[in-house]
Amino acid sequence: MNGLWLKVRIWTKVVVFVLVFVYLLCFVYWNTNNTAKFWYWRKREPETGTLFLVLFSFLAGVVTTVLVRAIFRTIRQIRDSRQRGRTERLEREVADMKAKAAMLQTKGNGPAAHASTGG
């Protein structure tokens, strides 16, 4: 029974792949001679092939997606870096305060402190 489901799954993938491939072939065949006007600036609308326009639109979308993800990742890294720097600075300040407090405690326990209190 397990082998049957594996065969069904494999054949489903093969059929879907073939259907997508046939669709792409039909798309290329029927759009090879089609042209479209592409506006990119005022009074500039060159006629270009539909496939060329679709290909570059897709590539522009991919590039835009990669750039937007990179921008968001960079912003997140900058925020993390600032937070890390802030945390390190606060940790240094706390360590300095503890060191100063320890110095004050040792000065307060010395012989001069006992003499002034009469001890």
* pLDDT tens profile 51-105: 888 889 999 999 999 999 999 999 999 999 999 999 999 999 999 999 998 888 8
**Does the pTM exceed 0.75?**
no
Total structural domains in the chain? 1
Separation in Å, CA 67 to CA 54, 59, 60? 20, 12, 10
Q: Which domain holds residue 65?
A: 51-106
- Tell me if 79 is assigned to some domain: yes
pLDDT tens profile 26-61 = 988 888 888 888 888 888 888 888 888 888 999 999
In a domain, 87, yes or no: yes
* Residue 118 counted as domain residue: no
Does a structural domain hold residue 41? no
- SS3 letters across 68-85: HHHHHHHHHHHHHHHHHH
Exposure of 9 by Cβ count < 10 A (0-12 exposed, 13-18 middle, 19+ buried)? exposed
pLDDT of residue 51: 87
